[in-house]
Amino acid sequence: MSGPLLPGDPGTIGGHRLLARLGAGGMGVVYLGRSATGALAAVKVVLPELADEPDFRARFRREVEAAGRVISPWAVPVTGAGPDEPTPWLATAFVPGPSLGEAVHRSGPLPTHSVRALGRMLAAALRAVHAAGIVHRDVKPANVLLAVDGPRLIDFGIARSTGHTALTATGLVAGTPGFLSPEQAEARLDSLGPPSDVFALGCLLAYAATGRLPFGEGTAQAVLYRTVHDEPDLEGIGADGGGAHGHAAAGDELRALTRECLAKDPAARPDAAEIESRLAGDAPSGGAWLPPHVVRDIADRSARMLALPDIDRTVTDLPNGAPAPPHGGVSRRRVLALGSGGAVLAVAGAGAALWAATRDDAAPPAGEETWAVGVHADLSGPGKAAGRAHEQGVRLALEQHNARADKPFELRLRTADDRGSQQRARAAAQSLVRDRGVLAVIGPTTDACVDGAVATYEEALLPMLLVKPGAFRLVGRRYRAPLHCRSLVYALGFGLAVQLTRQEKVSYPGLLQDRTADPVAWQVTQGVTDAMRKARTRFYPRVVPSGLDDLGPQVTDILDAKVDSFVYAGPAEGAAGVARGLAAAGFDGPRVGPEEVAEPAFLDEAGAAAEGWLLGTSFVDPERLPAAASFTSAFRRRFDAPPGRYAVEAYDAANLAIDQLVRGVRDGRPPERARLATLLRAARYRGITKTYVFNRDNGRFEGEVCYLHRVENGEFRFLGAVPGGD
C-alpha cells in the first residue's frame, strides 16, 4: 500500500507532482507522482547521500539508459529521468498490480495456463532486453508486476550492457539468490549474458507453478551452492495437466521447457525468442490469463487502497488560507480522477486496479520517518473470515488514530498472508520483520502459524499481539516478543467448569476429550478437570484418539454412567456427531464445548441437536455488548457490514499497541520494537472487551475471562462473561 508524504519529502520532482510514497529502500524512495499531462507515474528518487557518490551515480545513469532502450509491452516504459540532476530521479509508468511474489505468497501457485502465459510474455520482454544489448541480471518475482492484461518486467538497477565492464568488485554476486544462474552464483562476470536471464526465468516459472524455489531455501551460500551443483526441484509443475485453458500435454511441455532453462551450461539453454515461440498461443484476453482468485485479490486490494486517505498533500502546497483536507489527503473521488489527460481511472470489474505494490525489498529502512502496525493473518485460506476481521479491526483503529488532531505521528497498515499454513507463516513474518517501519504485529491467527513465525519475531524483538491463538505452549518459554491478548485455552476450560458447577448446579458431568483437536482439546480438558477437582465435583472422563469418526460408543458409555451434564473438548465436526448422539438418546442436561465448536459447521451438521449447547470462547459479539456500541457503529460506517468474529478483539489489540506507542514517544518518535515489547508487558489498558494486564515475564494475559454463547434458534447467542471473570 502507499503511504503519506513525510514533512521532508519534496512536493515535486522532475515536473511530477508527488502524491504519496509507494515504498522506500536503502537507495532511495519511490513516489506516486502525476505528470503535467495528468498521467500517473512511479518516480524513483535517489537518496541525497548516494547522489554524491560517482560509482552510484554511474550505476543509476546506466539503469536509466538500459530501461530507456527496452521497448516491449511487457516491460515498464521509462517516462522521464534526470540522472545528472542534483537529486537523480527516474519515472516509469505506474503499474496497477501486485508483484508475482506477492500474488503467489498470498494466493498460492498459479495454474499451468497462467504460468505458460506468464512465461511467453516475460520471454518477449527479455527478447526486447537482449535485443537492446542488455542483460537484466535480476529477473525475480519481486521484479514482475501483474496486471489484468499481462505482466510487466521492472527494475534495471543492476542491468548492464553485454560485454560492459561491471562496476561491482570482483567476486561480488549481484542479484538475488534463488534466481541467479550458476555463472552469477560463482561471480564469473565474463560469462554473464542473455542465458543468465533465461536461467532466472526458469527459476521464476518454477516458483510461479509450485510456490517453491527450485533450489530450496536457507542461507544465501547454501542456495548458491545448490544452484551450481544440484538438480532443480520441479515436482508439481504442470500437475493440473494444463488446466481448463490448456491441452493435456501443456503441463509436461512447461516442465520440460523449465528444465531446459535451468541447464547448468549456458549454451544448452533456449534463448528468449525460442521460449516465446514454444509458449505461443497462451496470450491474455481480458484478464483471462490470471486465475479468478488472483484477479479478485487485485480488485479487493485496489479497493482497499482507494478507501484509505493515503494520497496526501504536502503542507507547503496548500493554497494560502486553504484548510487541510481530512487526514491531510486528497479525497477518494479526486484519486479516481487522476488519469491521463484527466480521464477517470476506475476499478473495473475485470480487476483493473489502482494499487501500489510495496515489495519487501522496498520496505522503509531504519531511520525513515514512517511507522506501521502489521497484521499477520490467514487472509485467503480456510481461516480467512477471522483473518479479514483482524485486518478490518486493525485498519479501523489506525484510521481513527490518524484522524486525531493531536497524534504525534501517523501509522500505516502492513499485512502479510500465511493462508493458514505453518510453512508460509515464517515467510510472512520475515516480510514484516524486514519492513523496519513495522513496530508491532497483530497475529498470526492460528496456533500452528504462531509456531511457524515466533522464532522470526523473537529474533527481531518485534512484538506479536496474539488475539485468536490461545495454546499455552509459548508461555513456558522465555520469549520476549509474544503477548497473549486473550485468555488461554486452559482458562476457557476452567471457566466452563465454573459455569457448570456454580450456575448450572451439576453434580456429575461426563467429559469427552477428542484428541483430533489437540493441543487445544487436552488444554480445555485440563482446565475443566482442575476446576472440577477444586469444586470437589466428581466427573466421568473419556479420551478418544485423533481422527476417530464415530464417537457413538463413547457417548453411550458416558451416558451409561448416569452423568447429568456433558462436556465435549474437540472440533466442531466431532461436536456435531456428539450432539446428534445425545439428542437421539433423549439427553437434555447441560451440554458444553470450547471455542472450536462455535463454528458454522457445528450448526450445519448438528441441526436441531445443536440447540441449547453452551460454548466458552475468548471472543464477544460486539453487537450484543453495550460497551462496543460505538465500535460497531463506526465499523458498519467504514465497511458497510457488521463486524466479523475477532474484529473488536483485533481493534482492542491495535489500540493497546497504539496507546503504548504514543505513551512511549521520545523526541517525536515512537519507541523501537524492543522497548515497545517491554512497555506492552508492563501496560494496563482498558479495552472494549476486557482490561489488558500481562505477566511481565512471559506475556500471558493475567485475566481468565471466559465468554459464553448459547445456541438458540440455530444461531450463537452471546450471553456475556462467566460470572466471576474479568
The CA distances from residue 234 to 205, 259, 269, 419, 654, in Å, are 10, 8, 16, 22, 42
Exposed, middle or buried, 545 (CB in 10 Å: 0-12/13-18/19+)?
A: exposed
Q: CA neighbours within 13 Å on the CB side: how many for 648?
A: 25
* Coil, helix or strand at residue 402: helix
Q: Is 265 a catalytic residue?
A: no
Question: Buried (b) or exposed (e) across 160-188, using 16+ Cβ within 10 A?
Answer: beeeeebeeeeeeebbbbbbbbbbbbebe
Q: How far apart are CA 188 and CA 205, in angstroms?
A: 24
Residue 310 cell numbers, joined:
493515503
Q: How far apart are CA 93 and CA 153, in angstroms?
A: 12
Specify whether the CB–CB gap between 205 and 118 falls below 8 A.
yes
Cell numbers 520517518 label which residue? Answer: 369
Pick from 665, 693, 660: nearest CA to 677: 660
Backbone angles phi, psi at 460, to 5 degrees: -90, -5
Pick from 367, 481, 524, 478: nearest CA to 26: 367
Tell whether the torsion through CA atoms of 537, 539, 545 and 550 is positive or negative: negative
Residue 643: alpha-carbon gap to chain centroid? 20
Residue 286: CB atoms within 10 A of its CB come to 10
Q: Which of 55, 138, 233, 514 is catalytic?
A: 138
* Coil, helix or strand at residue 251: helix
Most distant CA pair in the chain, distance? 88
Residue 535 cell numbers, joined:
469444586
Q: How far apart are CA 259 and CA 196, in angstroms?
A: 14
Q: How far apart are CA 139 and CA 142, in angstroms?
A: 8
Catalytic site positions: 138
